[in-house]
Structure 1
Amino acid sequence: MWGRGVLVAVLGSVLLAACGAESAGTAPTPAPTSTESSGESARPTTMSPTTTTTTSVRKPPASVVVLDPGHNGGNAVAPGEINRKVPAGRDRTKACNTTGTSTDEGFGEHAFNFDVAQRVGDILTARGVRVIFTRDNDTGVGPCVDERARIGNDNAADAVVSIHADGATAPGARGFHIAYSAPPLNQAQERPTRTLARDLRDGLRAAGFPLSNYVGEDGFSPRDDLGGMNLSTRPSVLVECGNMRDTGEAAAMSTPDGRQRYAAAIAEGITTYLVG
């Protein structure tokens, strides 16, 4: 970990704008997922006044971040590939990958995850971070959860962040939570991962996103069944940005401005972690 940096606030003519205001064993069972369709994910050239903007001038030290947009656009038409069993840690196997969920209107989680990850990558790259993605398009199949973990391990990532959205059907279920491997299987899954989870939780909460009211506690969800987290030897977390079956959260996730808000908050959390 690096020494805690200083956040420089530029006073005078600069006006800061912010938009108001997420275990196995003991944790609740994760929400079910369903097959989704792809949706519009074009990035805006301009941001609306309601979009959270980031004016942070913090520059992390030289760092490598792996961004893992969950699922993939071609998974639904390749059941043989995504259902084959792969290592998932803790002497278990599980399906290579899944299709993910979608909003009631059909905007797919895979498309949301990919677009948000690209936006986070743009912000971090502008701050001098080397960003690596586990997939570079939203039309392919996989990669499997063990391969996603391997990408972070092989690149000695300073942080691995998997980006997802949930599909809970319980009435009123909403809010984000951060999942991570627990109990830890290696040193990286101990304090470094918990710190990364906390910084991401705080970044999303500061941006006005509500904590989950149906999974985990205080925005955290320790899990022992997530292959990508179990197999990671780097600080690694999974962000469930919200519930795509909640009308309000689905509306935000389905718009470019809403996805930019999520991306800015996630990028801030990662930057806080890297600055140390």
Structure 2
Amino acid sequence: MSYVGPDSQPPRPPRRFPGGRPLVLALAVLVPGSLAGFLLWDSAGDSDGGRAAGSLPSAARSEQDSPSKPGGADPKRSGKPAESKEPTATTKPTEGPGRDHGEKPGGGDAKPSGRPDAGRPAASGPLKGKVVVIDPGHNPGNFRHTAEINRRVDIGTNAKECDTTGTSTNRGYTEARFTLDLAHRLRDQLHREGATVRLTHDADRPWGPCVDERARIGNDARADAVVSLHADGSGVGNRGFHVILPAKVRGGAADTSAIVGPSRDLGERVAGKFLSATGSAPSNYVGGGTGLDTRGDLGGLNLSKVPKVFIECGNMRDPEDEALLTSGSWRHRAALGIATGISDFLRA
């Protein structure tokens, strides 16, 4: 199922004014006079060395004020390319649930930078020399590539879909947009602390990566920590966050025995700091109130050779959680909490 999102509303019919003919005559008189006045003002401005500050046309101001991002500026400043239509999901997909929606009015501080160099290590900081891989769940383009993402890949113990589209709020804010925006904020925070940060993708590819490739990216980077970002798609009334830890799994290419312990340490620290920073309660439907859940069916965890956890930041299908997930200021606090948990783990 697809939806018509806020970026793809049909154009409104042109507004008709009463007394159309007199209006045309009035404009015919006024426009030449206004144009002459503008030319006089413009020439006077040029004589002073250019226009005064703040005289940019509104279109130019909007481009100047918006952060750079792959594929152009998104009107909602979500840190991803603008999209016209996206599907929604009614159930949680098999490989990490969640979806996202737009910025709420008045909700949004400390916007992510969107700079291409934002993942480079800082000159100094407590995390200098540490490598962190951030894995934004799903990809905004996945829904256009169903054949590719439905292809099954080996996760060690069995085969599973390459990826899924993720979930969404009832108003159409997709998980893929949410996780990418949160990833940018988290990257910027870790970068300020001196860490070398890599994203598994930055909406710079049409779909994917598959879950096995996401694990390889962390392994190849020899990451000190990997965090996969998601949001859930459960029923109304199911609220709160939970962190998913790798179970002890062995089979085929999967062997998590070396990472189970450090991953739990990472997950517990992330959960604690996330709770403190956001005020969100641990999930009331997963993990028995601990905010922690152990799973052995996720390829992104099964194939990891480095400490890694998933975090489901909330339930996009619950109206109260939706209000949080769609708030820029809440996402800022969420990124700060996750970053603090990662920092505590790396400095322990």
TM-score (norm 1): 0.79
In structure 2, how many angstroms separate the alpha carbons of the residues matched to 1:216 and 1:88?
24
Q: 1:139 to 1:44 in 2, by over 3 A?
A: farther
Aligned to 1:135: 201
Structure 2 counterpart of 1:243: 315
Does the aligned pair in 2 maintain the 1:149–1:232 contact within 8 Å? yes
Whether contact under 8 Å (1:36, 1:106) holds in the other structure is: no
Quote the residue 1:10 is aligned against.
none
Structure 2 partner of 1:166: 232
| Contact 2:132–2:223 (CA under 8 A) maintained in structure 1 | yes
Aligned with 2:282 (options 211, 215, 218): 211
Which residue in 1 is equivalent to 2:143? 76
| Match in the other structure for 1:175 | 240
| Alignment match, 2:265 | 195
Contact 1:60/1:271 (8 A) holds in 2: yes
Distance (Å, rounded) in 2 between the aligned partners of 1:98 and 1:38: 14
What corresponds to 2:83 in structure 1? none
SS in 1 for 2:155: strand
Q: Which has the higher contact order (CA 8 A, sep 6+)?
A: 1
Q: Distance in 2 between matches of 1:36 and 1:238?
A: 12
Pairwise CA distance, 1:89: 2.2
Structure 1 residue 87 displacement after superposition? 1.2
Encode CA deviations 1:135-159: one digit per residue, 9 max, x unaligned: 0127730000000000000010000
Structure 1, residues 227-267: CA drift from partner, whole Å, max 9, x if none? 00000000000000010111121111112112111111111
- How far apart in 2 are the matches of 1:106 and 1:263? 22
Cα distance between partner residues in 2 of 1:228 and 1:45: 31
SS of residue matched to 1:89: coil
Contact 1:41 1:112 in 2 (8 A): no
CA distance in 2 between counterparts of 1:81 and 1:250 reads 29
Distance 1:223 1:119 in 2: 27
Cα-Cα RMSD: 2.5
Q: Deviations over 1:113-136 (max 9, x none)?
A: 000011000000010000000001
Question: How many angstroms does 1:72 deviate by?
Answer: 0.5
Identity %: 44
Partner residue of 1:256? 328
Shift of the 188–84 alpha-carbon distance from structure 1 to 2, 3 Å rule, reads same
Selected match of 1:111 from 164, 177, 190: 177
Structure 2: how far apart are the matches of 1:204 and 1:259? 11
After TM superposition, give the deviation of residue 189 of structure 1 in Å: 2.1
In the alignment, is residue 144 of structure 1 matched against residue 204 of structure 2?
Answer: no
Question: Contact 1:114–1:138 (CA<8 Å) still a contact in 2?
Answer: no
Rounded Cα–Cα distance in structure 2 between residues aligned with 1:32 and 1:267: 26
- Please give the secondary structure, in 2, of the residue aligned with 1:200: helix
TM-superposed CA distance for 1:39, in Å, is 4.3
Q: Structure 1 residues 193, 262: closer, same or farther in 2, change over 3 A? A: same
Give the equivalent residue in structure 2 for 1:21.
none
Cα gap change, 1:78/1:157 in structure 2, threshold over 3 Å: closer, same or farther? same
1:224 matched to 2:291? The reply is no
Aligned equivalents of 1:178 and 1:153: distance in 2? 20
Shift of 1:188: 3.5
Higher helix share: 2
List per-residue Cα deviations over 1:30-58 (Å, max 9, x = no partner).
x62499987446995658xxxxxxxxxx8
Letter in 2 for 1:149: A
User: Is residue 245–residue 293 contact of structure 2 (8 Å, CA) maintained in 1?
Assistant: yes
1:8-36 Cα deviation digits (max 9, x unpaired): xxxxxxxxxxxxxxxxxxxxxxx624999
| Greater C-alpha Rg | 2
Amino acid at match of 1:265: G
Query: What is the CA-CA distance between 1:268 and the residue it aligns to?
Result: 0.9
Which position in structure 2 is the counterpart of 1:269?
Answer: 341
Q: Is the 8 A contact 2:99 2:231 kept in 1?
A: no
Structure 1: gaps (5+ residues): 1-30, 48-57
Distance in 2 separating the partners of 1:168 and 1:46: 29
Match of residue 219 from structure 2 = 153
CA distance in 1, matches of 2:172, 2:334: 20
CA contact under 8 A between 2:190 and 2:197: conserved in structure 1? yes
Gaps of 5+ in 2: 1-90, 112-124, 250-254
